[in-house]
Amino acid sequence: MYSRALARLLAWTLRLDVAINRVYPEDFNPLYYTGGLSNLFLTVLVLSGIFLFLYYVPSFNDAYISVQFITDQVPYGLIIRGIHRYAADGFMIAVLLHFFRNWFTDRFRFSRDEPWISGMMLLLFAGFLGVTGYVLVWDQRSQLLVAMTGRTLGAVPWIGGWLETQWQGSAGISNLLLPRMLYLHVGPAVMLYILLWWHYVRIRHPKVWPPAVWTLFSLGLVFLLTGLLPATSQPAARPETVPTTLAVDWLFLLPYIGLKVLSPLALIALAVVITLYGLYIPYQLPETPAAMGIRDSGIAQVIDANCTGCELCYFDCPYNAIVMVPSPHPGVTKAAQARKLFAIVLESRCVECGICIGACPFEALELPRLLERDIQEKVVQACRS
Amino acid sequence: MPELERPTAAPAPGTGRRAKIVGFLCDFAVDASALTAPDGTMRDAPNVTLIKVPCSGFVRPAWLEFALRNGAEGTFVCGCPLGDCFNRLGNNLIGDRVVQLRRRFERQKIHPDRIAAIYFGLHDREEFLRAVKAFSEHVAQLPGPVVPAPRAPGGGPVRPAARPAAGSHVIEAGQTPPSAPQQAGPPPEAREGS
């Protein structure tokens, strides 16, 4: 049932790709660049965020005023604020597309669990950043968000009170709240880059940027939205009265809608279950390729005698599974005798795709259960039939 | 796939002749199980035999040349759509390698249109079949022998006993293919599981 649903989702994903490929050349299909688009939006967010940080005052009385000052008085302040607002939406959309696409197309198998786990953490941090960003404006929505989050955290058994205090910075709402929120907005943003390093570290040639046309299109779209719908604040927060209606942002504040139907404890339990399941996704598959029902050709093997240390397999291996080490001894063939380096396959990272075999012009790599000889036999057989 | 969409001028002289085609098909690309007989021959195009490989990037360009030198009239590699390789860049790599090999073929007087890289996703069966048939028809119209007869340095044909040209592994009928180096892999009986 579950696997059938995933198979159908995979089919829909691929059908969508085919439809988009009819419109754009394959190199420009935006769905192939969701990760690059996320990174683009994140860069825009960081740059515009630095600008906003220069003028923002994290104090109870001045926060709202300083945001209004940025909007009305600072040159280009309205535009930069709008860019920060809409780039955040774009970031979230791109991240969610990236998440669902890689989920439905099984891009978490084998050694890709590290990008998956780091990606889940990036998603959590991104959502949290959105909430703290909404609090910083310190309008009525911010006030309600702080109250709702505090109440939800307070419902956690045993450590609820402590969590609530940590969230607010003090027992009640006090002037310590906004500096803490500012830190919780900037600190996790820095953390995103640490997680991004983890996200990329096992990947050779990650597609970090989208094609130039999509860069321009995304930036243009952000500017357009900024011009058409300038980012605005709600009325300023009043400590004496907590507002009762939440102006919902469906991208970032979705969990808060759940509070309408769920008790805070149930919401937290649901969030924990979803998060844990997300982290578990790569590990619910069977261990071996044979048990998954796909080809099991074995870990790529380097043939010592033929390896010339030319590094071609090292450049082409998609998961950094090949490392070059100083050659312990010369190779046997003429080309391999003067080698300085020698290729090593790290078994834990090898996904048995065989790309290194295609990269090697010296016949120095083989998949143990799909040798070059086997392929040649098949070719000869095919030509005879 | 520009090399496939090139319009073919006229029907082949002696229509109905089918060119022998060997195709390398990625496991994650188009699902051809409904299109092929158990031995890899395509039902609708019996002159085409598909060999499944773990990734299109796995294919060594030398194997395409090997196929041409061993009786195939055309070979192609089919991967996932560009940008959507399950192993990230395998289809881009084989695309580049096929382009390089086409240049090398031009120098060797082998018609470069005899090889191609095509890209079709899991469910694009009809499109794949159409592309393969178009490729097969195009290859059938190409002139001349697949591989030019080797020439000795002074001109004139090479005698069979002479060393074959560098890079070519010609296998005579009934002969076993050249053996791979000894270090590779477990003994033959362990390889049957794949």
- The runs of H, that is alpha helices, within A24-171 are 34-55, 63-72, 77-104, 113-136, 140-154, 160-168
Q: What pLDDT, on a 0 to 100 scale, did the predictor assign at position A46?
A: 96
Confidence of residue B146 (pLDDT cuts 50, 70, 90): confident
Contact A385 B39 (CB under 8 A): yes
Q: Which of A289, A283, A286, A324 is nearest to A307 (CA)?
A: A324
**A10–B contact, CB cutoff 8 A:** yes
The beta strands (E) that lie in chain A are given as 301-302, 322-326, 341-345, 365-366
- d(Cα B189, Cα A226) in Å, to the nearest integer? 67
**A205–B contact, CB cutoff 8 A:** yes
For B22, the enclosing helix (H) or strand (E) is: strand B21-26
pLDDT tens-digit readout, A32-57: 999 999 999 999 999 999 999 999 99
Contact A301 B27 (CB under 8 A): no
Taking the CA of residue B153 and the nearest CA in chain A, the distance in Å comes to 24
B55, B123, B178 ranked by CB distance to A355: nearest: B55
**A369–B contact, CB cutoff 8 A:** yes
Contact A382 B72 (CB under 8 A): yes
**B167–A contact, CB cutoff 8 A:** no
B54, B121, B186 ranked by CB distance to A17: nearest: B121
B51, B119, B121 ranked by CB distance to A378: nearest: B51
Contact A205 B89 (CB under 8 A): yes
Q: What pLDDT, on a 0 to 100 scale, did the predictor assign at position A86?
A: 94
Q: What pLDDT, on a 0 to 100 scale, did the predictor assign at position B158?
A: 57
pTM of the predicted protein model: 0.86
Asked if A97 and A244 count as a contact pair (C-beta separation under 8 A), the reply is no
Give the contacts of A295 (CB within 8 A, at least 6 positions apart). A289, A352, A370, B27, B52, B54, B194
Q: What pLDDT, on a 0 to 100 scale, did the predictor assign at position B2?
A: 46
Task: Sort out which chain A residues have CB atoms less than 8 A from B41's CB and list them.
Answer: 385
Lowest mean pLDDT among A172-181, A201-210, A244-253, A376-385: A244-253
Give how far Cα A102 sits from Cα of A31, A35, A95, B132, Å. Answer: 11, 10, 11, 29
Taking the CA of residue A382 and the nearest CA in chain B, the distance in Å comes to 6
Asked if B53 and B59 count as a contact pair (C-beta separation under 8 A), the reply is yes
- d(Cα A148, Cα A177) in Å, to the nearest integer? 14
The residue-averaged pLDDT of A168-183 equals 88
Sign for the pseudo-dihedral over CA of A263, A264, A268, A269 = negative
**B169–A contact, CB cutoff 8 A:** yes
Is the pLDDT assigned to residue A256 strictly greater than 60? yes
Contact A358 B97 (CB under 8 A): yes
Q: Rg of chain A over CA atoms, in angstroms?
A: 26
The ipTM (two decimal places) reads 0.86
**B82–A contact, CB cutoff 8 A:** yes
Least CA distance to A301: which residue of chain B?
A: B184
The residue-averaged pLDDT of B175-179 equals 48
Phi first, then psi, for residue B51 (nearest 5°) are -115, 120
**A102–B contact, CB cutoff 8 A:** no
Task: Sort out which chain B residues have CB atoms less than 8 A from A367's CB and list them.
Answer: 54, 58, 185
Task: For residue A70, give the amino acid letter.
Answer: I
pLDDT tens-digit readout, B94-137: 999 999 999 999 999 899 999 999 999 988 899 999 999 999 99
A120: which 2 tokens? Answer: 């889940």
